[in-house]
Amino acid sequence: MVSRNNSLRLVAMLAALGAAPLAAQAPVRLSFADAVRRAAGEAPTVALATLRTDEADAQVRQARSALLPSLSVAGVWVNRDFNSQSLGIPFPPAFSLPNPVPPFNNYDGRVTVTQTLFDWSNVTRVRAANARADGSRAERGVTVETAAQAAAVAYLRASRAQAVVAARQADSSIAAELVTLAEAQKAAGVSAAIDVTRARTQLVRAEGLLIVARNERDRGRIVLARTLGIDPATPLELADTLAGTLGAADLPAGRDAVLTVALAGRPDLGAELARATAARRTGTAIRAERLPRVGVEADYGLNGMTVPSALSTRQVALEVTIPILDGFRREARLSEQAAVVRESEVRERDLRQQITADVDAALLDLRSAEAQQLIAADQLRLAEDELSQSRQRFKAGVAGNIEVIDAQSNLIRARDTDIDARFAAASARVALARAAGVARTAH
């Protein structure tokens, strides 16, 4: 009896530890769709990708500045003297020349405007910068898809851990009932003491597994919080369970339709196409450097030895520049860009094949997982029936509780199999959404 009381106190202590909350603050209720949506918009990786997109847009404005007017204002004050000997004129010269000239002031204020009239190379560079900005936005889309998938998988794992906790709690309840039943059967003289011992052993084992399950559940919520960029100390309450449709996305039916969506919407393919476009436009800009460049410069200002006596002066200049030879550097740069374009074409072909493989593999996994889910559900139903029948036989005294314990073990395995099958099916749906480039729409 002492040993039994110690065991029960140990179980109660472990259960209390496992049930201890992570923090005293109120939990944040989070659905699967909320987690995916939050990750797609607020995850740290998405925030960094958005900043890189802003950088690319700023680079477009920098490239465009070469085609826009330039305006500057300058003011100069000079005080100097003049010595004829510094110019090689002997002193005293053959003619009368004061030397040195006394110091004098000169004031000059000027407004200068420059404007490019024709520079096809810079026009094409702006277009190349726009293509790179498009690529940066597509890269952000890749980051969004990755963050959405990571959040979805983290949520599914946390939901799986929560389902395991519920299963272990049910196992513990059944084990406690079997202990009560075994003690009653022993008291009635229809059961041996070994049956009570077996029932108590099963109860302790169930409670130990419950502690482990609660720990995994809490760890899963911490991982989910980190994936979403939330303080890990924030307690999360999952609003969704491993239901039959969890993880579904907005996708058409049929392999060909899904593949069409993937090839049209995968952001990584869009990013590769944008890189190729930027490389081609950069090559065009380099070739355009051979064309003449035309610009105009105008300035207007006041110049004089004193400010009141300053006179207005102006200048207008038209400049035409025709590049002739730059040591064949331009040709080498063209060869470099041609190689970059060919590399991008190879990556594009490989990526299209990879997208097809991703969609086909995800569809295979989904069909297999859905079939396994049906089998696991049948297995769970049969295990529950087996346990119910074995308990009735034990109550009737026609079988020992070893049969009940075996049935209970089968039920535990069936519950785990059912949870794993539901998790696999939901994960396969998320993987299919990611393969099609719509993971951010998973719900």
Q: For the ranges 28-32, 54-58, 80-84, 343-347, which has the lowest average pLDDT?
A: 80-84
Dist. CA 138–CA 267, nearest whole Å: 5
Q: Do the Cβ atoms of 261 and 252 come closer than 8 Å?
A: yes
Dist. CA 298–CA 111, nearest whole Å: 8
CATH of the domain at 200: 1.20.1600.10
Give the tokens for residue 193. Answer: 């003491």
CA atoms within 13 A on the CB side of 137: 8
Per residue in 365-404, pLDDT tens? 999 999 999 999 999 999 999 988 988 888 777 777 788 8
Write the DSSP symbol of residue 316: E
pLDDT band at 3, cuts 50/70/90? very low
Asked whether the predicted pLDDT for residue 165 surpasses 80, the reply is yes
Q: For residue 112, what are the domain limits?
A: 2-82+91-441
Enumerate residues 6+ apart whose C-beta is below 8 A from 56.
129, 132, 133, 135, 136, 137
pLDDT above 70 as % of the chain: 90
Q: For the ranges 15-19, 30-34, 138-142, 407-411, which has the lowest average pLDDT?
A: 15-19
The pLDDT assigned to 99 comes to 56
Asked whether the predicted pLDDT for residue 92 surpasses 70, the reply is no
In this structure, are strands 101-118 and 70-82 parallel, antiparallel, or unpaired? antiparallel
Three-class SS of residue 315?
strand
Dist. CA 373–CA 385, nearest whole Å: 19
Between the CA of residue 66 and those of 18, 55, 119, 293, 406, what are the distances in Å?
66, 18, 9, 12, 81
In the chain, how many domains are there? Answer: 1
Q: Do the Cβ atoms of 121 and 291 come closer than 8 Å?
A: yes
Asked whether the predicted pLDDT for residue 98 surpasses 70, the reply is no
**Of 351, 348, 352, 329, the residue nearest 340 (C-alpha):** 348
Three-class SS of residue 297?
strand
Asked whether the predicted pLDDT for residue 427 surpasses 60, the reply is yes
The pLDDT assigned to 10 comes to 47
Top-confidence residue, 110 or 84: 110
Dist. CA 369–CA 253, nearest whole Å: 17
Length of the chain: 443
Helix (H) or strand (E) holding 117: strand 101-118
Top-confidence residue, 13 or 427: 427
Distance of CA 60 to the CA centre of its chain: 24
The pLDDT assigned to 84 comes to 64
Per residue in 107-140, pLDDT tens? 989 999 999 999 999 999 999 999 999 999 999 9
Is the pTM of the predicted complex or chain greater than 0.85? no
Average pLDDT, the chain: 87
DSSP 65-88: GGGS-EEEEEEEEEEEEE-GGGGT
Asked whether the predicted pLDDT for residue 14 surpasses 80, the reply is no
Asked whether the predicted pLDDT for residue 151 surpasses 50, the reply is yes
Q: Do the Cβ atoms of 339 and 412 come closer than 8 Å?
A: no
Alpha helices, DSSP H, located in 397-438 = 401-436
Per residue in 175-233, pLDDT tens? 888 888 888 888 877 777 887 888 888 889 989 999 999 999 999 999 999 999 988 88
Q: Do the Cβ atoms of 127 and 281 come closer than 8 Å?
A: yes
pLDDT above 90 as % of the chain: 63
Q: For the ranges 12-21, 54-63, 281-290, 350-359, which has the lowest average pLDDT?
A: 12-21
Backbone dihedral angles phi then psi of residue 296, each to the nearest 5 degrees = -130, 145
Q: Do the Cβ atoms of 7 and 204 come closer than 8 Å?
A: yes
E runs forming strands in 174-292: 236-238
Dist. CA 209–CA 203, nearest whole Å: 10
Which residue type, as a one-letter code, is found at position 288?
Answer: A
Three-class SS of residue 292?
coil
Q: For the ranges 180-189, 285-294, 405-414, which has the lowest average pLDDT?
A: 180-189
Write the DSSP symbol of residue 105: E
Give the tokens for residue 288. Answer: 């355009």
Q: Do the Cβ atoms of 210 and 169 come closer than 8 Å?
A: yes
The pLDDT assigned to 20 comes to 45
Asked whether the predicted pLDDT for residue 72 surpasses 90, the reply is yes
Which residue type, as a one-letter code, is found at position 177?
Answer: E
The pLDDT assigned to 186 comes to 81
Enumerate residues 6+ apart whose C-beta is below 8 A from 260.
none
